[in-house]
Amino acid sequence: MRKLVPSPSLPTATALAGTPEMAAVALALALRGWWEEVNGSPAWQDGAFFSLSAAYALVSAVALVQLIRIQLRVPEFGWTTQKVFHLMNFVVNGVRAVVFGFHAQVFLFQTKVYTLVLLDLPGLLFFSTYTLLVLFWAEIYHQAKNLPTGKLRIIYMAVNGVIYVIQVCIWIYLGTNDSPLLEPVSKIFISVVSFLALLGFLIYGGRLFFMLRRFPIESKGRRKKLYEVGTVTAICFTCFLIRCIVVAMSSFDPDLSLEVLDHPILDFFYYMLTEILPSALVLFILRKLPPKRVSAQYHPIR
């Protein structure tokens, strides 16, 4: 049996009879009834989560194909930032596809922390994947400004390491203590992590974009790079902003919870807007392969 989270009751239409707002309230009640019926329908749940699984599998396959194409084009280079980015996209989206493919089991674990781990860990990996772009842009910006770049990777790894350690500690505590207060704290932590990501895109994506705009030489390559940086920054900033707001709100409002089976429509649009569409768009924008021979325009980052 699928366990559903009960929704708070609303006043009935008869209690509001005779008021000027009766028609509007009746419509709201009808919509609420439809919403609750959809949320409680196994058919809608399966449709939403299997659709998410298929979409994630498609994006994962695209990332793998792109990784293989890059490897065939420049096999002499090691694991560059570009290759690692596509590999992590393949892993993140593949894990999401499997999780949502088995949604009926994932959301109904007797121990809630197992569900949280399976849903939150890919989100952290998504953070690490896309902040790689922030690291790459930061290195370009620092090199252009003749600033040291040696500590940028250390900062990236340190920040990610601290985030994962804190999250693992939260999971361990949730698994050993049945505290109703710690789950909202975990959601707020994920919201803070998303805020750090959008801040990184705003700072270094914005800096690199305006630096490219100030270049005196007008060329096709400059316009393409300007378009690439600007659009990827806007996409990633928006998706992490939505994630930050929705997760923060869900920590206070159970009706916005993303860790239950009976919110299929909310989950569908949330993951579609914060991971699937951004990943698909960014992979499309960054689809260009490196040149076959090393040139002045291509510097692999090992």
DSSP string spanning 83-129? Answer: HHHHHHHHHHHHHHHHHHHTHHHHTT-SSHHHHHHHHHHHHHHHHHH
Percent of the chain with pLDDT over 70: 83
Q: pLDDT at position 232, please?
A: 96
State whether residue 188 is helix, strand or coil.
helix
Predicted confidence band at 117 (pLDDT cuts at 50, 70, 90)?
very high
Distance CA(298)–CA(138), nearest Å, equals 16
Gap between the Cα atoms of 104 and 122, Å rounded: 18
Candidates 1.25.40.10, 3.40.640.10, 1.20.1070.10, 1.10.3660.10; correct CATH number of 22-285? 1.20.1070.10
3-state SS string for 229-290: HHHHHHHHHHHHHHHHHHHHHHCCCHHHCCCCCCCHHHHHHHHHHHHHHHHHHHHHHCCCCC
pTM given for the model:
0.84
- pLDDT band for position 26 (cuts 50, 70, 90): low
Distance set, CA 70 to CA 75, 140, 167, 278 (Å):
8, 21, 33, 21
Output DSSP code: residue 21.
T
Instruction: Give CA separation, 65 vs 83, 103, 128, 197, in Å.
Output: 11, 26, 21, 26
Query: pLDDT value at position 1?
Result: 44
Tokens standing for 216? 């005196």
Q: Which two tokens stand for residue 94?
A: 């593949």
Distance, C-alpha 78 to centroid of its chain: 27
Contact 136, 88 (CB under 8 A): no
Q: Alpha-carbon distance 181 to 194, whole Å?
A: 21
| Digit-coded pLDDT (tens) for 250-300 | 988 887 888 878 888 899 999 999 999 999 999 999 988 877 754 444 444
Residues with Cβ < 8 Å from 66, sequence gap 6 or more?
86, 283, 287
pLDDT tens, position by position, 192-213: 999 999 999 999 999 999 988 8
Q: How far apart are the two ends of the chain, measured CA to CA in Å?
A: 51
Distance, CA of 57 to CA of 265 (rounded, Å): 19
Tell me the two tokens of residue 18: 């005779």
List Cβ neighbours of 283 (8 Å cut-off, separation of 6 or more).
59, 62, 63, 66, 86, 89
Q: State the CB neighbour count (10 A cutoff) for residue 20.
A: 8
At 148-190, the pLDDT tens digits run 888 999 999 999 999 999 999 999 988 888 677 777 888 999 9
